[in-house]
Amino acid sequence: MDRKKILLANKAVFEFILSLSELELEELLKKNRKLALVKSKDIMKDDNSKIENKIITDLINNLYSISSKEEAINYLSQFRIVDLKKIAKESNVFIKSKSRKGEIIDRIVEGTIGSKIKMDILKS
């Protein structure tokens, strides 16, 4: 095999891995997902979305275990906008399509633990 072709293939794989979200990369490293070579026409939506939904659900459960807004903001700041939008969707938090990362995080915090914190204050 030609060295140049091998280097180009390595570059393609490396660029693909760089494009993965934190969630996808973690799944790959845990060996819950695999890289596969597929013909472009054969690509269809598959059951990987079920795996991703499980991860998003776990992230939301982690979010609900946080007791302060500052911790929640720090926790959510590690995720990309794409992942934050998925978290918002699963949490039933409305996000405008052109919202910035900070706005999305604020809306998620308010829509999830923000209301929990307010209720705890009212109960006190």
- In this prediction the pTM is 0.56
Domain spans, the chain: 3-42, 48-123
Torsion of CA 30, 31, 32, 33, to 10 degrees: 120
Give first-to-last CA distance, the chain, whole Å: 71
The alpha helices in the chain, defined as continuous H runs, are: 3-19, 22-29, 48-64, 69-77, 81-90, 101-109, 115-123
The list of the chain residues with pLDDT below 50 reads 41-47
Amino acid 59: pLDDT: 87
